[in-house]
Amino acid sequence: MGRRGAYRKAMSCGLGMCAAFAAVLALGEAYARLRLPSDIRQHLGEHLTNNNIYKPDPILGADYRSYEDFHAENIQVLTDLGPLDSPMPTWLFFGNSFVQGPGMLADTARAARPDKRIFNIGKNVDLPLRVAQARLLLEAGLRPQRIFFILLPHDLWSSGRRPLSFIEVTAEGAIATRMRWPDSAWGNVVAASRIMTIAWIRSGRATPDPGFDWHLVAGVPSPRVAADLADMLGVLAELFRQFGVPTTVVAVPNREQIFGKSGFGFQEALKELCALAGLDYFDARHPLVDVADKAALFESDWHFSARGNALLLGGLLEHVEKRAVHRAP
């Protein structure tokens, strides 16, 4: 075979490889558009069911369009809890799965205090939506004796990954994350390709803080995360002033803190932010950290056991009783 024949063969082979590569990319792109992964759908706010109930909010990023939409989404729980204007003394609990899960803090309070209606939705939603729920319920007529807003260090994960300023509401009423595209000319290319978009999002660089490390949430929050937390506490403080409902922010330690593997910068920062906002604050570390058998505080999935929840509730009730004594004439 002459030089020209070898050249043609190499060109033909190269073109064939390029065509095969292009075909694989095209198939991958088509598959990505038809079967977008669930985490990417959530990030982009696409093809989500039962999620068209939100509107933009200038502080929290997203809010419910109406109490009717919120009620329809939580109709069974709200029906079981009874009317908002029930005369029964009500305590309103917000928190993640450590509060909302079966047998967790809300259920523990319900069993320990039958004289109170423990009002909780039973769903684990991101921190900004919990604040929006508190505002919505008060505006709709609920008048609890007290709001308990329970926070653990990992509640800051959502603010680290999606700051308030990066929360978007789509035209269909779903919550999405505003994208930060590459600054170079590649930005348009990445935006046009679903495969590249998926890779960009999963790289962590689609957010404004690619260096956010969820392992460090028990430490002092970054200035950006602390600013978002201050804004959310500011909304709670305004609700307290507007509706006269005492609000206690409860800082619960995570397992690393309880086992002495992490400091308490999260608690100290939250205490300072609550003082600035004028909100009651309870540091729940001592009912838990002071226990000798720390392993008994947890279930196998690292949620609190019945003992852990009982100790947490006991410390919280003691704090509330002390506050009531201090306010008494």
Going 33 to 40 to 63 to 137, the CA torsion angle's sign is: positive
Domain boundaries, the chain: 88-162+212-327
Tens of each residue's pLDDT in the chain, 329 residues: 555 555 565 555 555 555 554 554 555 556 556 566 666 666 666 655 556 899 999 999 999 999 999 999 999 999 999 999 999 999 999 999 999 999 999 999 999 999 999 999 999 999 999 999 999 999 999 999 999 999 999 998 888 778 899 899 988 898 888 776 677 666 666 666 776 667 766 666 666 666 666 666 667 888 888 999 999 999 999 999 999 999 999 999 999 999 999 899 999 999 999 999 999 999 999 999 999 999 999 999 999 999 999 999 999 999 999 877 555 44
- 224-234 in b/e form (b: 16+ CB < 10 A) is bbbebbbbbbb
Q: How far is CA 14 from CA 21, 26, 62, 184, 281, in A?
A: 10, 18, 51, 29, 68
Spell out the long-range contacts of 292-301 with Cβ–Cβ below 8 A and sequence spacing 24 or more: 294/258, 294/259, 297/258, 298/255
pLDDT digits (tens, 9 = 90+) for 187-239: 666 666 776 667 766 666 666 666 666 666 667 888 888 999 999 999 999 99
Instruction: Say which CATH architecture domain 88-162+212-327 belongs to.
Output: 3-Layer(aba) Sandwich (3.40)
